[in-house]
């Protein structure tokens, strides 16, 4: 029953996601037919516009347009990009590796920062080391991604010339990865530090110490594992911020990812790309949240046991 419920929730989510992406374009200013005909560069007549609207099915009732849209999505047919005249699926496939590299490495670096500062602060709670880690979180959490990106670009690429300014060049991912990691790390550090401090005072941890287990064993086997659930939770909740950060960072460092593709599509009113981007990001967020739920069962077997009893 649990899996059937989750499948039903996934179906409802996907249906609502297609509805949102469909209505975003319908409510957007401008005309999709005019945008596709590129009226700013090519002289077209009213007959041309009407013929294009008929070809796109824009003259059909709204419910027919929505059903047609769902059918096309099921076939992975998102239309053609007006920017490149290429299929939108091809554009997304070409742009996704850049975003995956940026987001993946940024998350890895952010987790390294979280582990070092979180453990450093928790093991020295209330001391200057703890205040130093919390000061880092206070300062970096107030830095917008675009401002930090421009600062790193100005100092290390333009001023010192140590690193390339464009992410597509060799070594070009270092600055954008550092920028995004610093932006997303502060809430991870705060939550991880707090959960570590709390876990060290739990009864089963004290019992492990009383049995004479080595402190490193107690910390690594019990304290650390008990502290991971809050960290995993906030990682799942902050995924939107990570993906939103990639959009800005990709634009600043000229990384050919889906974020830059979406921004270019917004400025040029490439509605097909915008629709596909909304669907893509929504599905990615849903899948990662599902993985987060599965990780709970590994981190805390009691959760899986409770679910089996309920079923």
pLDDT at residue number 297: 65
Is the alpha carbon torsion for 145, 16, 283, 289 positive or negative?
A: positive
Choose among 8, 6, 9, 1: nearest CA to 311. Answer: 1
Is the alpha carbon torsion for 111, 117, 118, 119 positive or negative?
A: positive
List, for residues 27-72, the tens digit of each pLDDT value. 666 555 555 555 445 555 556 556 656 555 555 677 777 887 888 8
Above 60 in pLDDT, residue 303?
A: no
List, for residues 92-144, the tens digit of each pLDDT value. 888 888 888 888 888 899 989 988 888 888 877 778 888 888 888 888 888 88
pLDDT at residue number 109: 92
Q: Give the tokens for residue 34.
A: 């005019």
Nearest-angstrom CA–CA distance, 208 and 202: 10
List, for residues 8-17, the tens digit of each pLDDT value. 777 787 888 8
Nearest-angstrom CA–CA distance, 130 and 179: 23
Nearest-angstrom CA–CA distance, 311 and 307: 6
What's the predicted TM-score (pTM) here?
0.74
Q: Which of 98-102, 275-279, 286-290, 293-297 has the least mean pLDDT? A: 293-297
pLDDT at residue number 209: 60
Q: Which of 62-76, 112-126, 199-213, 256-270 has the least mean pLDDT? A: 199-213
**Best mean pLDDT range from 103-107, 165-169, 287-291:** 103-107
């Amino acid at each position: 029953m649990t899996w059937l419920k989750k499948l039903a929730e996934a179906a409802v989510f996907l249906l609502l996601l297609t509805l949102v992406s469909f209505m975003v374009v319908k409510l957007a200013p401008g005309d999709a037919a005019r945008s596709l005909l590129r009226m700013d560069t090519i002289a077209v007549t009213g007959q041309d516009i009407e013929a294009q609207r008929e070809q796109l099915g824009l003259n059909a009732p709204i419910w027919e347009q929505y059903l047609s849209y769902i059918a096309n999505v099921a076939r992975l047919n998102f239309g053609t990009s007006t920017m490149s005249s290429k299929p939108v699926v091809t554009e997304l496939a070409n742009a996704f590796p850049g975003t995956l590299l940026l987001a993946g490495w940024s998350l890895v670096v952010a987790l390294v920062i979280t582990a070092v500062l979180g453990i450093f602060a928790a093991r020295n709670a209330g001391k200057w080391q703890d205040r130093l880690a919390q000061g880092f979180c206070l300062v970096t959490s107030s830095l917008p991604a675009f401002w930090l990106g421009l600062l790193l670009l100005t100092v290390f690429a333009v001023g010192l010339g140590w690193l390339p300014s464009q992410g597509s060049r060799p070594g070009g991912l270092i600055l954008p990865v550092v920028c995004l990691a610093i932006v997303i790390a502060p809430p991870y550090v705060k939550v991880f530090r707090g959960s570590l401090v709390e876990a060290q005072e739990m009864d089963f941890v004290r019992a492990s110490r009383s049995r004479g287990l080595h402190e490193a064993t107690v910390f690594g086997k019990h304290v650390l594992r008990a502290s991971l659930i809050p960290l995993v939770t906030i990682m799942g909740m902050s995924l939107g911020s990570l993906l939103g950060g990639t959009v800005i960072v990709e634009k600043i460092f000229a990384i050919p990812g889906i974020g830059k593709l979406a921004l270019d599509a917004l400025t040029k009113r490439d509605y097909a790309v915008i629709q596909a981007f909304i669907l893509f990001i929504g599905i990615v967020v849903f899948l990662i949240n599902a993985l987060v739920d599965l990780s709970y069962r590994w981190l805390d077997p009691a959760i899986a046991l409770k679910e089996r009893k309920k079923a």
